[in-house]
């Protein structure tokens, strides 16, 4: 390359809500991105690409998802080099998506707008009936605490953090699901599996219960 590469001219930017369900919850974030790239090629969309030796589609997931978690209303931003009816793009993506990846809705967003910034995420986990009273007691204990120290273990070190400031709300619903909402800060957040562990419920996911992210809440424009 001689450095005279032409810059990509953006014509539109779209924000999608999508779901990742079923067996696709076992797909890593990296593999999900590769899957999206194949969908974009098959759909024949004029996707903008990054510059450099390894151009990649300008597609951004607002919040990565850990392996094994289902997502019901995830956020994807996509930049295009042509102006196309958003609903047409939605239909074309849906036609090429594999089972379990559902594109739900789309909106056009300003080209000059900043990337989606996540404010919070909401999760739920089903709890067997015989364990719901204990779960309610554990949630009540968590919510009354001013702090909840937790040790995050990594391969090369441990990190001490306080989970409590990240928990915006938590309860066990009448139908027996643990529901909680986590704050997402610019420097990170508590992980949903850490909240489940702190409540003494990590055995549920070990035995096959599926953790679901119900919603990804975005900060308002200018917020």
- 92 vs 217: CA distance, rounded Å: 26
Strand partners, 140: none
Phi, psi of 160 (to 5 degrees): -95, 130
- The predicted pLDDT at position 112 comes to 76
pLDDT reported for residue 8: 60
Block means of pLDDT (10 residues each) for the chain, 223 residues, are 49 95 92 95 94 87 92 96 96 97 96 83 97 97 96 88 96 96 90 96 95 95 56
DSSP 96: H
Query: What is the rounded distance in angstroms from the CA atom of residue 17 to the CA atom of residue 102?
Result: 9
Per-residue confidence (pLDDT) for residue 116, from 0 to 100: 82
Q: What are the backbone dihedrals phi and psi of residue 91, each rounded to the nearest 5 degrees, phi first?
A: -65, -40
The per-residue pLDDT for 220 is 83
Interatomic CA distance for residues 6 and 48, integer angstroms? 12
Q: How many residues does the chain have?
A: 223
DSSP 40: H
pLDDT for the residue 142: 97
| Neighbour tally for 36: CB within 10 Å | 20
Residue 183 contacts residue 165 (beta carbons within 8 Å): yes
Strand positions, DSSP E, 157-208: 158-162, 167-172, 177-183
Q: In the prediction, which pLDDT does 6 show? A: 43
* Coil/strand/helix, residue 92: helix
CB 174: neighbour CB atoms within 10 A? 7
Tokens for 165, please give them: 């400031």
Residue 35: what pLDDT?
A: 95
Which residues lie across from 60 on neighbouring strands? 77
The dihedral sign for the CA sequence 140, 146, 149, 152: positive
**3-state DSSP call for residue 106?**
strand
């Amino acid at each position: 390359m001689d450095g005279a590469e032409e810059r990509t001219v953006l014509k539109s930017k779209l924000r999608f809500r999508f779901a990742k369900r079923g067996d696709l919850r076992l797909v890593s974030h990296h593999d999900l991105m590769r899957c999206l790239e194949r969908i974009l090629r098959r759909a024949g969309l004029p996707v903008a690409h990054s510059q450099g030796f390894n151009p990649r589609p300008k597609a951004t997931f607002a919040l990565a998802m850990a392996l094994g978690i289902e997502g019901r209303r995830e956020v994807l931003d996509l930049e295009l080099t042509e102006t196309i009816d958003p609903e047409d793009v939605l239909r074309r993506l849906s036609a090429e998506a594999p089972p379990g990846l559902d594109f739900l809705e789309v909106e056009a967003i300003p080209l000059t707008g900043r990337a989606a910034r996540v404010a919070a995420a909401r999760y739920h986990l089903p709890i067997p009936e015989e364990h719901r009273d204990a779960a309610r007691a554990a949630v009540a204990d968590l919510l009354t605490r001013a702090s909840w120290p937790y040790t995050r273990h990594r391969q090369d070190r441990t990190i001490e953090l306080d989970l409590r400031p990240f928990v915006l709300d938590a309860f066990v619903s009448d139908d027996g699901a643990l529901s909680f909402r986590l704050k997402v800060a610019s420097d990170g957040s508590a992980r949903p599996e850490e909240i489940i562990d702190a409540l003494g419920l990590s055995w549920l996911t070990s035995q096959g219960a599926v953790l679901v992210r119900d919603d990804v809440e975005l900060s308002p424009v200018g917020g």
